[in-house]
Structure 1
């Protein structure tokens, strides 16, 4: 069966868990579109999910990639490798950027991979020991057209924790 030429990609819905959460349990019924967030709601959901992704340690060091190549891209390997205890000089920005990009492209389908940019931010503040500021920028799937997604982040290598800053995002 041939697909129509004018087929367009649908906007991504929130996760099943997000749709099943009841924000107003006292109400007996909800509007049919109650589970579908507006564009700001979807940005908040994507930001929350990115925070979970970047703060989860994956199993890269424990999986034998030659024996189990499919495991690398599966939910078993969700997150980024542990970087705590390493120094920013030991793991240069390019390798950290690749790890973050790989995790986002594998596990966050609402961000368009070709539009994804991850870059370090040179802060005017005094250098923070083992902390790296960076920005994640790209386009978020939305209907009828993609929306800009931009967020600043602080990666604390010692604590292996990423903090995403909502206040710094530029409005689309």
Structure 2
């Protein structure tokens, strides 16, 4: 199946745009400025995987006391579920926290 036509190309995810994969090059080639739908989906999948595998800061962390930490990159991720049982989880609360993280 063909990759995609030039009209089907998309801007890469933010992390991909900020990552310099060829630091020795002084200019970026045109093919690096756009991605196919398949590449875009892979970037979103990777970003979601990173987000869902990262743990945000809890109220016990002194840094969490600062007002802007809740909405900063310091709070990237979801709450730590280590040691919790499925029966002890509030599924609706967890769903809300995952939606908020995304």
Q: CA 1:77–1:12 in structure 2 vs 1: closer, same or farther (change >3 Å)?
A: farther
- Cα deviations across residues 22-71 of structure 1 (Å, max 9, x unaligned)? 4xx9xxx874132421111011001101100110111133212xxx2221
1:76 aligns with 74
Runs of 4+ in 1 over 4 A off after TM superposition: none
Unaligned runs of 5+ residues in structure 2 are: 1-9
8 Å CA contact 1:58–1:81 kept in 2: the answer is yes
Unaligned runs of 5+ residues in structure 1 are: 1-10, 105-172
1:7 aligns with none
2:58 aligns with 60
> Which aligned pairs between 1:107-118 and structure 2 lie closer than 5 A?
none
Aligned-residue Cα RMSD (Å) equals 2.2
Q: CA 1:73–1:12 in structure 2 vs 1: closer, same or farther (change >3 Å)?
A: farther
- State the TM-score, normalizing by the size of structure 2: 0.70
2:44 aligns with 46
Q: CA 1:41–1:76 in structure 2 vs 1: closer, same or farther (change >3 Å)?
A: same
Question: Which secondary structure does the structure 2 equivalent of 1:51 belong to?
Answer: helix
- State the TM-score, normalizing by the size of structure 1: 0.44
